[in-house]
C-alpha cells in the first residue's frame, strides 16, 4: 500500500505551457511547494524574477513561492525529492522526455506520477499509458494517474469552479492524485478507466475541428447540437471497440470535455475548424494560431484506428479527409448529411477490447483484475 502524501506536498511540474502553468499556480495556491520546469530559458528567468510567463497567461502574476528551473531536465536529486511529478508535456514529445527521466529516478521509490496531456502518438497510435509502459516499464504504468476534463487554463487561473476526472488502473493512486488537486473551486472525481479517459481526451479535439468548421460555414445551433451528440456516439463506439468502458464517455473527461471544446472560441481546435470554415488555408491557420491544436495531428492517428477496427465514424473520417486529402469542406459537410439512414441511433461494436487486452497483457494484468493494481 502506498504511503499517504503529506498535506503540503513537494510537486514538480514538467512543462510550462498554458495547462502546466495554470496547474502549478493552482497547486501553489493550495499550499503545496511547487517547482516548475521549462525548456525555455526566457520563461525560467521571467517566472523567477517577475513571476510572469512571457508567452502564456501573460496577464497573470504567479505566486512567488513557485520556483522555475530549466532548460536542462531536472537531475536525479530534484526528481527524488518530489512527492508528486506532474507531466504537462505535449504527447508528441512525451516519449523522449520519459526515456530521459526514467534514467534519473529511482524506480523503487517513485513519487506519485500524474499526466495531463491529451492526444494519440502519431505513427505508433499509442496512448499515454502505452508510452509509459514502453519507456518506464509495467510497474510505473500500473500506478500512473491521469487528470482530464473540461478545464480551460484561463478559467482555472481565475478560480472559476472546475470539475475534472482523475483516473488510474490503480483506484488508490487515482484517489491520492485527486486529493492533491481537490479544492472547493477544483473538484476531482476518481475513476479507474485510463484508456477511456485518454481516448476521450484525444478524440474530442478532432470533433471540435468539425464543430468549429460547421460554425465557420454558417451553420447554427441545430447543427452544432447534432454534431456534438453524434460525435459523442462516435467517441463511444471507438472507445468500446478499443476496450474502454462506454460509461467513461458520459463522464467529465468524456461528454464534459467534448462539450467544452466544441462550444467555445477559447478552444484552439474549435478555432482551427472555424477558420477552415471561413475559407482560410490550414497552413496559414497553424502558422498564426500561437499554440498547438492537437486535433490536427490526432485526426491522422484516429483515422488509422477507425480503419483498423472497421468502426463506423463518418465525422472523424470527414475531418481526416478535409485535413489530409484536401476534400473541400462544403462538399464534406454535404456528404455527411447525405449518409444512408441508420438502423438505430446508438450502437456499439460486437467485438471489442483487442487493444486494451494487448496492453493489459504487456502490463501483466487481465481485463478482470486491471483495477486491482
User: What are the boundaries of each domain within the chain?
Assistant: 10-192, 202-357
What CATH topology corresponds to 10-192? Rossmann fold (3.40.50)
- pLDDT value of position 313: 94
Under a CB-based contact definition with an 8 Å cutoff, are residues 120 and 202 in contact? yes
Question: In which band, very low, low, confident or very high, does the pLDDT at 372 lie, cut at 50, 70 and 90?
Answer: very low
Confidence (pLDDT) at 356: 83
- Mean pLDDT calculated for residue range 107-123: 91
* The three three-digit cell numbers of residue 106, written as one number: 529511482
Residue 1's pLDDT is: 46
Instruction: Report yes or no on whether pTM surpasses 0.75.
Output: yes
Cβ neighbour number for residue 83 with a 10 Å cutoff = 17
Q: Which of 189-193, 227-231, 318-322, 361-365 has the lowest mean pLDDT?
A: 361-365
pLDDT tens per residue across span 137-153: 999 999 999 999 999 99
Let me know if the fold of 10-192 is the same as that of 202-357.
no
The closest of 275, 256, 305, 270 to 127, measured between CA atoms, is 305
| pLDDT tens, position by position, 310-355 | 899 999 999 999 999 999 999 999 999 988 887 788 888 765 667 8
pLDDT higher than 80, residue 291: no
Question: Where in the sequence numbering do the catalytic residues fall?
Answer: 204
Cβ count near 330 (within 10 Å): 12
Given a contact cutoff of 8 angstroms between Cβ atoms, the answer to whether 150 and 257 are in contact is: yes
CATH code of the domain made up of 202-357: 1.10.1040.10
**Cα angle 173-179-185, degrees, rounded to a multiple of 5:** 140
Do the Cβ atoms of 23 and 13 come closer than 8 Å?
yes
Provide the H-helix boundaries in the chain: 18-29, 41-49, 76-80, 91-102, 128-136, 138-143, 153-157, 171-181, 194-216, 221-242, 257-262, 268-277, 282-288, 294-309, 314-325, 329-337, 354-362
Q: How much is the pLDDT for 350?
A: 65
Amino acid at each position: 500500500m502506498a504511503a499517504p502524501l503529506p498535506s503540503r506536498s513537494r510537486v514538480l511540474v514538467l512543462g510550462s505551457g498554458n495547462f502546466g502553468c495554470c496547474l502549478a499556480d493552482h497547486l501553489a495556491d493550495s499550499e503545496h511547494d511547487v517547482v516548475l520546469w521549462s525548456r525555455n530559458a526566457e520563461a525560467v528567468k521571467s517566472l523567477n524574477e517577475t513571476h510572469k510567463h512571457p508567452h502564456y497567461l501573460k496577464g497573470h502574476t504567479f505566486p512567488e513561492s513557485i520556483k522555475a528551473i530549466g532548460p536542462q531536465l531536472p537531475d536525479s536529486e530534484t526528481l527524488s525529492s518530489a512527492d508528486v511529478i506532474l507531466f504537462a508535456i505535449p504527447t508528441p514529445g512525451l516519449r523522449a522526455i520519459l526515456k530521459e527521466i526514467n534514467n534519473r529516478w529511482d524506480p523503487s521509490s517513485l513519487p506519485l506520477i500524474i499526466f495531463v496531456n491529451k492526444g494519440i502518438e502519431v505513427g505508433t497510435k499509442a496512448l499515454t499509458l502505452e508510452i509509459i509502459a514502453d519507456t518506464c516499464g509495467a510497474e510505473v504504468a500500473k500506478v500512473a494517474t491521469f487528470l482530464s476534463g473540461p478545464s480551460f487554463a484561463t478559467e482555472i487561473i481565475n478560480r472559476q469552479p472546475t470539475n475534472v476526472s482523475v483516473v488510474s488502473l490503480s483506484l488508490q493512486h487515482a484517489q491520492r492524485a485527486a486529493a492533491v488537486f481537490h479544492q472547493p473551486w477544483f473538484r476531482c472525481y476518481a475513476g479507474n478507466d485510463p484508456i477511456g479517459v485518454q481516448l476521450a481526451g484525444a478524440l474530442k479535439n478532432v470533433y471540435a475541428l468539425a464543430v468549429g468548421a460547421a460554425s465557420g460555414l454558417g451553420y447554427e445551433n441545430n447543427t452544432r447540437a447534432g454534431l456534438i451528440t453524434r460525435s459523442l456516439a462516435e467517441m463511444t463506439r471507438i472507445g468500446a471497440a478499443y476496450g474502454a468502458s462506454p460509461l467513461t464517455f458520459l463522464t467529465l473527461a468524456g461528454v464534459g470535455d467534448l462539450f467544452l471544446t466544441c462550444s467555445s472560441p477559447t478552444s484552439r481546435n474549435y478555432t482551427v475548424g472555424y477558420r477552415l470554415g471561413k475559407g482560410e488555408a490550414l497552413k496559414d491557420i497553424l502558422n498564426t494560431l500561437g499554440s498547438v491544436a492537437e486535433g490536427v495531428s490526432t485526426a491522422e492517428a484516429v483515422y488509422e484506428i477507425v480503419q483498423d477496427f472497421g468502426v463506423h465514424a463518418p465525422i472523424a473520417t470527414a475531418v481526416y479527409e478535409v485535413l489530409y486529402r484536401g476534400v473541400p469542406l462544403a462538399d464534406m459537410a454535404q456528404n455527411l448529411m447525405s449518409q444512408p439512414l441508420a438502423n438505430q441511433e446508438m450502437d456499439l461494436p460486437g467485438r471489442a477490447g483487442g487493444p486494451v487486452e494487448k496492453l493489459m497483457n504487456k502490463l501483466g494484468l487481465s481485463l478482470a483484475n486491471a483495477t486491482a493494481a
